[in-house]
Amino acid sequence: MNTRAQMKIQEMSFMIIALAIFFILILLFYLAVSLQGMKRDVAQSERAGGILLAATLAGTAEFSCAEYTTSVCVDSDKLLALTDHPEYARFWDVAGITVEKVYPAPAGRKVCTRENYPNCNVFVIVNQTSTNTMSDASYVLLCREDYRNQYSYTQCDLGKIIVTTEKIA
Amino acid sequence: MVGFIIIILMVMIIGVIFLGISLRKSVQGSGVEATDAEISNFMSASLGYVTDCAKDYEPNYRTIEDVIDDCYAKRSCADGRKTCDVLNKTYSEILPNFKPAGSQISAYRMNFYYLQNASADVGESERLDMGFYSGNMDTCQSRKAGMTSISIGEGYIAEVLEVCLKEA
Protein backbone atom coordinates (compact mmCIF):
# COMPACT_ATOMS: atom_id res chain seq x y z
CA MET A 1 0.00 0.00 0.00
CA ASN A 2 2.83 2.33 0.99
CA THR A 3 4.74 1.51 -2.24
CA ARG A 4 1.60 2.13 -4.34
CA ALA A 5 1.06 5.52 -2.74
CA GLN A 6 4.67 6.43 -3.40
CA MET A 7 4.22 5.43 -7.08
CA LYS A 8 1.13 7.63 -7.33
CA ILE A 9 3.02 10.61 -5.87
CA GLN A 10 5.88 9.98 -8.31
CA GLU A 11 3.46 9.79 -11.27
CA MET A 12 1.82 13.00 -10.12
CA SER A 13 5.14 14.86 -9.83
CA PHE A 14 6.23 13.66 -13.31
CA MET A 15 2.91 14.85 -14.65
CA ILE A 16 3.31 18.30 -13.05
CA ILE A 17 6.87 18.64 -14.42
CA ALA A 18 5.74 17.56 -17.92
CA LEU A 19 2.87 20.05 -17.82
CA ALA A 20 5.19 22.85 -16.67
CA ILE A 21 7.63 22.09 -19.53
CA PHE A 22 4.71 22.02 -21.96
CA PHE A 23 3.46 25.45 -20.85
CA ILE A 24 7.00 26.89 -20.93
CA LEU A 25 7.36 25.67 -24.53
CA ILE A 26 4.08 27.36 -25.47
CA LEU A 27 5.27 30.58 -23.79
CA LEU A 28 8.61 30.45 -25.66
CA PHE A 29 6.80 29.89 -28.97
CA TYR A 30 4.51 32.85 -28.29
CA LEU A 31 7.47 35.09 -27.32
CA ALA A 32 9.41 34.11 -30.46
CA VAL A 33 6.44 34.95 -32.69
CA SER A 34 5.71 38.29 -30.99
CA LEU A 35 9.40 39.34 -30.95
CA GLN A 36 9.65 38.63 -34.68
CA GLY A 37 6.66 40.90 -35.27
CA MET A 38 8.12 43.55 -32.96
CA LYS A 39 11.45 43.61 -34.88
CA ARG A 40 9.53 44.09 -38.14
CA ASP A 41 7.47 46.89 -36.57
CA VAL A 42 10.63 48.67 -35.29
CA ALA A 43 12.27 48.53 -38.76
CA GLN A 44 9.06 49.81 -40.35
CA SER A 45 8.77 52.57 -37.75
CA GLU A 46 12.40 53.68 -38.32
CA ARG A 47 11.78 53.92 -42.06
CA ALA A 48 8.54 55.85 -41.51
CA GLY A 49 10.45 58.23 -39.17
CA GLY A 50 13.11 58.82 -41.84
CA ILE A 51 10.47 59.54 -44.47
CA LEU A 52 8.73 61.94 -42.07
CA LEU A 53 12.00 63.81 -41.35
CA ALA A 54 12.71 64.30 -45.06
CA ALA A 55 9.07 65.23 -45.75
CA THR A 56 9.10 67.80 -42.92
CA LEU A 57 12.15 69.46 -44.44
CA ALA A 58 10.45 69.46 -47.87
CA GLY A 59 7.47 71.20 -46.27
CA THR A 60 9.47 74.21 -45.04
CA ALA A 61 9.03 77.59 -46.74
CA GLU A 62 12.45 77.37 -48.44
CA PHE A 63 11.38 74.28 -50.43
CA SER A 64 7.57 74.06 -50.62
CA CYS A 65 5.40 75.21 -53.54
CA ALA A 66 3.41 78.39 -53.14
CA GLU A 67 0.21 76.88 -54.61
CA TYR A 68 0.23 73.51 -52.83
CA THR A 69 0.88 73.79 -49.14
CA THR A 70 1.40 70.04 -48.67
CA SER A 71 4.84 68.76 -47.74
CA VAL A 72 5.00 66.60 -50.88
CA CYS A 73 5.35 69.57 -53.25
CA VAL A 74 8.79 71.14 -53.77
CA ASP A 75 9.30 74.22 -55.97
CA SER A 76 12.20 73.43 -58.32
CA ASP A 77 12.72 77.15 -59.10
CA LYS A 78 13.40 77.68 -55.37
CA LEU A 79 15.81 74.73 -55.44
CA LEU A 80 17.74 76.32 -58.30
CA ALA A 81 17.98 79.58 -56.35
CA LEU A 82 19.24 77.66 -53.28
CA THR A 83 21.96 75.87 -55.26
CA ASP A 84 23.34 79.34 -56.12
CA HIS A 85 23.71 80.18 -52.42
CA PRO A 86 26.02 77.65 -50.72
CA GLU A 87 26.10 79.88 -47.61
CA TYR A 88 22.54 78.67 -46.93
CA ALA A 89 23.93 75.17 -46.17
CA ARG A 90 24.60 76.17 -42.51
CA PHE A 91 20.90 76.97 -42.06
CA TRP A 92 19.71 73.33 -41.86
CA ASP A 93 22.54 71.82 -39.79
CA VAL A 94 22.58 68.52 -41.74
CA ALA A 95 25.42 66.75 -43.57
CA GLY A 96 23.74 66.86 -46.98
CA ILE A 97 20.52 67.68 -48.86
CA THR A 98 19.96 66.46 -52.40
CA VAL A 99 16.79 66.50 -54.48
CA GLU A 100 16.66 64.06 -57.40
CA LYS A 101 14.17 63.88 -60.23
CA VAL A 102 12.82 60.31 -60.36
CA TYR A 103 10.40 60.53 -63.30
CA PRO A 104 10.75 61.59 -66.07
CA ALA A 105 14.50 61.35 -65.54
CA PRO A 106 17.01 62.37 -68.22
CA ALA A 107 19.71 59.75 -68.88
CA GLY A 108 22.67 60.01 -66.54
CA ARG A 109 23.26 62.26 -63.54
CA LYS A 110 23.08 65.94 -64.47
CA VAL A 111 23.56 68.38 -61.62
CA CYS A 112 21.27 71.41 -62.07
CA THR A 113 22.80 74.80 -62.80
CA ARG A 114 21.35 78.00 -64.29
CA GLU A 115 22.75 76.94 -67.67
CA ASN A 116 21.11 73.48 -67.99
CA TYR A 117 17.87 73.96 -65.94
CA PRO A 118 15.28 72.36 -66.38
CA ASN A 119 17.08 69.68 -68.44
CA CYS A 120 18.82 68.23 -65.40
CA ASN A 121 17.93 65.81 -62.62
CA VAL A 122 19.91 66.53 -59.42
CA PHE A 123 19.79 69.60 -57.16
CA VAL A 124 22.62 69.68 -54.64
CA ILE A 125 21.46 72.00 -51.85
CA VAL A 126 23.97 70.99 -49.18
CA ASN A 127 27.03 69.24 -50.56
CA GLN A 128 27.88 66.17 -48.50
CA THR A 129 31.49 66.16 -47.33
CA SER A 130 31.63 63.78 -44.32
CA THR A 131 31.56 59.98 -44.71
CA ASN A 132 30.12 58.67 -41.41
CA THR A 133 26.54 59.49 -42.36
CA MET A 134 23.05 58.03 -42.74
CA SER A 135 20.37 59.08 -45.24
CA ASP A 136 16.60 59.49 -45.08
CA ALA A 137 14.51 60.02 -48.18
CA SER A 138 10.98 61.01 -49.08
CA TYR A 139 9.22 61.06 -52.44
CA VAL A 140 8.03 64.55 -53.42
CA LEU A 141 6.58 66.42 -56.37
CA LEU A 142 9.03 68.68 -58.21
CA CYS A 143 6.91 71.51 -59.62
CA ARG A 144 7.79 74.44 -61.86
CA GLU A 145 5.98 76.91 -64.11
CA ASP A 146 6.12 75.98 -67.80
CA TYR A 147 4.61 77.37 -71.00
CA ARG A 148 2.76 75.74 -73.88
CA ASN A 149 0.55 77.26 -76.60
CA GLN A 150 1.15 80.66 -74.96
CA TYR A 151 -0.44 79.45 -71.74
CA SER A 152 1.39 78.93 -68.49
CA TYR A 153 0.81 75.79 -66.45
CA THR A 154 2.36 73.99 -63.48
CA GLN A 155 4.40 70.96 -64.49
CA CYS A 156 4.93 68.54 -61.59
CA ASP A 157 7.40 65.68 -61.92
CA LEU A 158 8.17 62.95 -59.42
CA GLY A 159 11.25 63.51 -57.26
CA LYS A 160 12.98 62.40 -54.10
CA ILE A 161 14.50 64.51 -51.33
CA ILE A 162 17.46 62.86 -49.62
CA VAL A 163 18.58 64.25 -46.25
CA THR A 164 21.91 63.04 -44.91
CA THR A 165 22.79 63.37 -41.23
CA GLU A 166 25.94 62.57 -39.25
CA LYS A 167 25.84 59.21 -37.45
CA ILE A 168 25.97 59.49 -33.66
CA ALA A 169 29.03 57.63 -32.40
CA MET B 1 -4.74 10.21 -18.02
CA VAL B 2 -8.13 11.45 -19.21
CA GLY B 3 -7.51 14.74 -17.35
CA PHE B 4 -4.18 15.20 -19.11
CA ILE B 5 -5.77 14.70 -22.55
CA ILE B 6 -8.50 17.23 -21.66
CA ILE B 7 -5.83 19.79 -20.63
CA ILE B 8 -3.87 19.22 -23.88
CA LEU B 9 -7.06 19.62 -25.96
CA MET B 10 -7.99 22.83 -24.11
CA VAL B 11 -4.52 24.32 -24.66
CA MET B 12 -4.63 23.38 -28.35
CA ILE B 13 -8.08 24.98 -28.82
CA ILE B 14 -6.93 28.17 -27.02
CA GLY B 15 -3.76 28.19 -29.20
CA VAL B 16 -5.75 27.87 -32.43
CA ILE B 17 -8.14 30.68 -31.37
CA PHE B 18 -5.17 32.93 -30.45
CA LEU B 19 -3.40 32.21 -33.76
CA GLY B 20 -6.60 32.93 -35.70
CA ILE B 21 -7.09 36.29 -33.94
CA SER B 22 -3.48 37.42 -34.52
CA LEU B 23 -3.56 36.41 -38.22
CA ARG B 24 -6.86 38.26 -38.71
CA LYS B 25 -5.42 41.42 -37.08
CA SER B 26 -2.46 41.53 -39.52
CA VAL B 27 -4.73 41.22 -42.55
CA GLN B 28 -7.23 43.86 -41.43
CA GLY B 29 -6.56 47.54 -42.26
CA SER B 30 -5.12 47.22 -45.75
CA GLY B 31 -7.22 44.47 -47.21
CA VAL B 32 -4.13 42.77 -48.59
CA GLU B 33 -1.25 42.78 -46.11
CA ALA B 34 0.65 45.23 -43.89
CA THR B 35 1.30 48.49 -45.75
CA ASP B 36 4.85 49.67 -46.36
CA ALA B 37 5.68 53.31 -45.48
CA GLU B 38 7.97 53.86 -48.48
CA ILE B 39 5.44 52.54 -51.00
CA SER B 40 2.63 54.61 -49.44
CA ASN B 41 4.88 57.70 -49.51
CA PHE B 42 5.69 57.04 -53.18
CA MET B 43 2.00 56.64 -54.02
CA SER B 44 0.96 59.85 -52.21
CA ALA B 45 3.63 61.84 -54.06
CA SER B 46 2.84 60.28 -57.45
CA LEU B 47 -0.82 61.38 -57.21
CA GLY B 48 0.25 64.95 -58.05
CA TYR B 49 2.33 63.99 -61.11
CA VAL B 50 1.07 65.92 -64.14
CA THR B 51 0.24 63.54 -67.01
CA ASP B 52 -0.02 64.37 -70.73
CA CYS B 53 -3.83 63.97 -70.59
CA ALA B 54 -5.46 67.38 -71.09
CA LYS B 55 -8.96 68.02 -69.76
CA ASP B 56 -10.25 70.34 -72.48
CA TYR B 57 -7.33 72.25 -74.03
CA GLU B 58 -3.53 71.98 -73.87
CA PRO B 59 -1.89 72.70 -71.46
CA ASN B 60 -4.73 72.08 -69.01
CA TYR B 61 -3.15 68.75 -68.05
CA ARG B 62 -4.55 66.36 -65.47
CA THR B 63 -2.67 64.99 -62.48
CA ILE B 64 -2.75 61.26 -61.70
CA GLU B 65 -5.30 62.05 -58.97
CA ASP B 66 -7.57 63.73 -61.56
CA VAL B 67 -7.04 60.86 -64.00
CA ILE B 68 -8.14 58.32 -61.34
CA ASP B 69 -11.31 60.39 -60.78
CA ASP B 70 -11.89 60.62 -64.56
CA CYS B 71 -11.27 56.89 -65.04
CA TYR B 72 -13.85 56.15 -62.30
CA ALA B 73 -16.34 58.50 -64.04
CA LYS B 74 -15.40 57.02 -67.47
CA ARG B 75 -14.33 60.40 -68.89
CA SER B 76 -11.77 60.73 -71.72
CA CYS B 77 -8.82 63.06 -72.37
CA ALA B 78 -9.20 66.01 -74.78
CA ASP B 79 -7.40 63.98 -77.50
CA GLY B 80 -9.89 61.08 -77.12
CA ARG B 81 -7.67 58.67 -75.17
CA LYS B 82 -9.32 56.68 -72.36
CA THR B 83 -8.22 57.99 -68.96
CA CYS B 84 -7.92 54.40 -67.62
CA ASP B 85 -5.39 53.64 -70.39
CA VAL B 86 -3.46 56.83 -69.52
CA LEU B 87 -3.41 55.75 -65.85
CA ASN B 88 -2.10 52.28 -66.73
CA LYS B 89 0.52 53.67 -69.17
CA THR B 90 1.74 56.38 -66.75
CA TYR B 91 2.25 53.95 -63.87
CA SER B 92 3.90 51.39 -66.17
CA GLU B 93 6.48 54.09 -67.01
CA ILE B 94 6.89 55.44 -63.46
CA LEU B 95 7.18 52.13 -61.57
CA PRO B 96 10.47 50.93 -63.18
CA ASN B 97 12.05 54.10 -61.68
CA PHE B 98 10.82 53.20 -58.19
CA LYS B 99 13.26 51.09 -56.18
CA PRO B 100 11.80 50.39 -52.72
CA ALA B 101 14.59 49.65 -50.19
CA GLY B 102 17.10 49.44 -53.06
CA SER B 103 15.28 46.58 -54.81
CA GLN B 104 13.81 46.49 -58.30
CA ILE B 105 10.19 45.69 -59.03
CA SER B 106 9.66 42.49 -61.04
CA ALA B 107 5.85 42.53 -60.95
CA TYR B 108 3.09 44.75 -59.64
CA ARG B 109 -0.67 44.84 -59.21
CA MET B 110 -2.70 47.97 -58.65
CA ASN B 111 -6.29 47.81 -57.44
CA PHE B 112 -8.83 50.50 -56.63
CA TYR B 113 -11.59 50.31 -54.02
CA TYR B 114 -14.56 52.56 -53.38
CA LEU B 115 -14.76 53.62 -49.72
CA GLN B 116 -17.88 55.14 -48.11
CA ASN B 117 -15.67 57.06 -45.65
CA ALA B 118 -11.94 57.63 -45.14
CA SER B 119 -11.70 55.15 -42.24
CA ALA B 120 -13.53 52.29 -44.01
CA ASP B 121 -11.71 48.96 -44.31
CA VAL B 122 -10.42 48.25 -47.82
CA GLY B 123 -10.91 44.49 -47.36
CA GLU B 124 -14.65 44.99 -46.90
CA SER B 125 -15.05 47.60 -49.68
CA GLU B 126 -16.12 47.27 -53.30
CA ARG B 127 -13.23 46.63 -55.71
CA LEU B 128 -13.52 48.84 -58.80
CA ASP B 129 -13.13 47.54 -62.33
CA MET B 130 -10.15 49.80 -63.15
CA GLY B 131 -7.16 47.88 -61.77
CA PHE B 132 -4.17 46.68 -63.77
CA TYR B 133 -1.10 44.53 -63.31
CA SER B 134 2.25 43.57 -64.82
CA GLY B 135 4.17 40.31 -64.32
CA ASN B 136 3.12 37.40 -62.13
CA MET B 137 2.35 38.33 -58.53
CA ASP B 138 1.04 34.86 -57.59
CA THR B 139 4.48 33.21 -57.58
CA CYS B 140 6.15 36.19 -55.84
CA GLN B 141 8.39 35.41 -52.86
CA SER B 142 9.05 38.96 -51.59
CA ARG B 143 6.05 41.27 -51.82
CA LYS B 144 5.18 44.62 -50.29
CA ALA B 145 2.09 46.80 -50.47
CA GLY B 146 1.20 50.45 -50.07
CA MET B 147 -2.01 52.42 -50.05
CA THR B 148 -3.25 55.95 -50.51
CA SER B 149 -6.72 57.40 -50.99
CA ILE B 150 -8.32 60.30 -52.81
CA SER B 151 -11.60 62.06 -52.21
CA ILE B 152 -14.25 61.85 -54.95
CA GLY B 153 -17.74 63.27 -54.59
CA GLU B 154 -19.24 61.85 -51.41
CA GLY B 155 -16.79 58.98 -51.04
CA TYR B 156 -13.15 57.98 -51.46
CA ILE B 157 -11.11 55.85 -53.82
CA ALA B 158 -8.36 53.80 -52.19
CA GLU B 159 -5.43 52.96 -54.44
CA VAL B 160 -3.62 49.79 -53.36
CA LEU B 161 -0.28 48.90 -54.95
CA GLU B 162 1.31 45.49 -54.43
CA VAL B 163 4.85 45.05 -55.73
CA CYS B 164 7.08 42.00 -56.09
CA LEU B 165 10.72 42.78 -55.32
CA LYS B 166 13.90 41.30 -56.71
CA GLU B 167 17.46 42.22 -55.73
CA ALA B 168 18.79 45.18 -57.75
pLDDT, tens digit (0-9, with 9 covering 90-100), for B39-62: 988 999 999 999 999 988 888 999
The answer to whether residue B8 sits within a structural domain is no
Residues 6+ apart with CB under 8 A from B133: B107, B108, B109, B110
| DSSP category for residue B65 | H
pTM over 0.80: no
Domain of B154?
33-166
Which band of pLDDT confidence, cut at 50, 70 and 90, is reported for residue B126? Answer: confident
Residue B51 within any structural domain of the chain? yes
B108 occurs within a structural domain = yes
- pLDDT tens-digit series, residues B3-24: 777 877 887 887 788 777 766 5
Burial class of B168 by CB neighbour count within 10 A (0 to 12, 13 to 18, 19+): exposed
Which residues numbered 128-157 in B keep a CB inside 8 Å of some CB on A? none
**Is residue B52 assigned to a domain?**
yes
Please indicate, yes or no, if residue B81 is contained in any of the structural domains. yes
For A62, the enclosing helix (H) or strand (E) is none
As for the ipTM of the complex, it is 0.74
Q: Pick from B36, B48, B57: which is nearest to A156 by CB?
A: B48
Each residue's pLDDT, cut to its tens digit, for chain A (169 residues) gives 678 888 888 888 888 898 899 889 989 988 988 888 888 788 778 777 778 888 888 888 888 887 766 668 899 999 999 988 888 878 888 888 999 999 887 778 899 999 988 889 999 998 887 788 888 888 999 999 988 888 889 899 999 999 888 876 6
Would the CB atoms of B97 and A138 count as touching at under 8 Å? no
| Average pLDDT for chain B | 84
Q: Is residue B3 part of a domain?
A: no
Q: Which pLDDT belongs to residue B159? A: 92
The domain total for chain B is 1
Contacts of A141 in chain B (CB under 8 A): 45, 48-49
Is B21 in CB contact (< 8 Å) with chain A?
no
> Between chains, do A154 and B50 touch, taking CB under 8 Å as contact?
yes
Which candidate in A15, A56, A141 is best for mutational testing of the B interface (most B CBs within 10 A)? A141
For residue B162, give how far its alpha carbon lies from the nearest alpha carbon of chain A (Å).
17
CB B147 within 8 A of CB B158: yes
Comparing CA positions, the residue from B49, B26, B59, B111 lying closest to residue A142 is B49
